[in-house]
Amino acid sequence: MLFSVIIPTYNRASFIARTLDSVLAQDFHDFEVIVVDDGSTDHTREVVAPYVQRDQRVRYFYKENGERAAARNFGVRQAQGSYVTFLDSDDLYYPHCLSAAHAFLQRHQNCAWFALAYEIRDENGRLLSSQAKRKGNLAEQLFAGNLLSCIAVFVRRDIALLHPFQEDRTLAGSEDWELWLRLAARYPLPYANEVVACMIQHDARSVMEVNAARLEARLQACIRYVEADEAVRALPASYLRRFRTHAYAYLALHLAMGKHPAKAFRYYLKALRISPLFFFHKKSAVILRELVKGILRR
């Protein structure tokens, strides 16, 4: 078996059928689907059950809630495919997703991991953004922000077992970036800008929530784990400076958008202290614009 599609889910009974339909509509058939129900209290089990009965490639596991990282790691341990990939239970594959991944592997045989492109649409299908314009060394660029999502990232199963997601709940929401940085410090990241999947932006997405205390704790945990990694520490010092600068910039932007201008400004200054030239970066302009909006609202 070539691919194991791991779908962690928690109380997404109203979304997951559409997600499963998109996977089972693939024009490439050498894959399995592993649904890891992370302690749902809705009727997710009942929604998934007919898929398990109809298609032997679909397996369902229920476990106590442990957040997305734990659910993904659990799925990796059950996987039989040579490569694992992670699909949130409210996102969609396009029919050519896995055939495109197979074609990519024919050109880059046995690579440790690789990424294809995805786009973001709203619930009405309107295109919001696309990740199809990437260029250059993507592994290096990850230290300046998470250019990936779990969707359309494929990791060789032995590598995924060796380097699991951190299961610290405090990290939830940045656990993927933290893992990508550990992998990027060890392995090249080949990629293609072919759009193969779609992230659906809706109000129920957990990433839409902005809680200042949790956001600060999450990014501080991310910094702590990344900077403790031996392979990351072996990289040139500029990588860690870039990482810290953009971690603080991420905090500044989202705190500003979440109506916490004082905290946002403090993290913006931290970013500038590490990298004064960040002032001329386009992210800096966006942060300043949000800070001005916050001041005007007051």
pLDDT, one tens digit per residue, over 273-290 is 999 999 999 999 999 999
Q: What is the 8-class DSSP label of residue 26?
A: -
Query: What is the predicted pLDDT for the residue at 209?
Result: 53
- 48-102 pLDDT, tens digit each: 999 999 999 999 999 999 899 999 999 999 999 999 999 999 999 999 999 999 9
Segment 123-139 mean pLDDT:
90
Domain boundary among 153, 183, 204: 204
Listed residues 151, 173, 204: the one ending a domain: 204
pLDDT exceeds 90 at position 259: no
pLDDT for res 298: 61
Task: Report pLDDT for 235.
Answer: 97
For residue 118, the domain's CATH number is 3.90.550.10
Q: 222 and 196, same structural domain?
A: no
Rounded CA separation 190/144 (Å): 18
Residues 127 and 212 in one domain: no
Confidence of residue 41 (pLDDT cuts 50, 70, 90): very high
166 lies in the same domain as 239:
no
As for how many domains the chain has, the answer is 2
pLDDT at 196 over 80: yes
Same domain assignment for residues 222 and 91:
no
Provide the pLDDT confidence category of residue 208 given band limits of 50, 70 and 90. very low
* One domain for residues 183 and 251: no
What pLDDT shows up at residue 201? 86
Adjacent-strand bridge partners of 198: 92, 119
| pTM for the model | 0.92
- The mean-pLDDT minimum among 174-178, 260-264, 272-276 falls in 260-264
Q: What is the residue range of 282's domain?
A: 208-297
Query: What percentage of the chain reaches a pLDDT higher than 90?
Result: 87
Question: C-alpha dihedral over 120, 126, 129, 130, to 10 degrees?
Answer: 70
The terminus-to-terminus CA distance of the chain in angstroms comes to 58
H runs (alpha helix) in 108-211: 138-141, 157-162, 175-184
pLDDT of residue 6: 98
Residue 210 confidence (pLDDT) above 70: no
Across the range 211-216, mean pLDDT stands at: 90
pLDDT of residue 294: 72
Q: Tell me the residue ranges of DSSP E strands in the chain.
A: 3-9, 31-37, 58-62, 83-86, 92-93, 113-122, 127-130, 153-156, 191-201
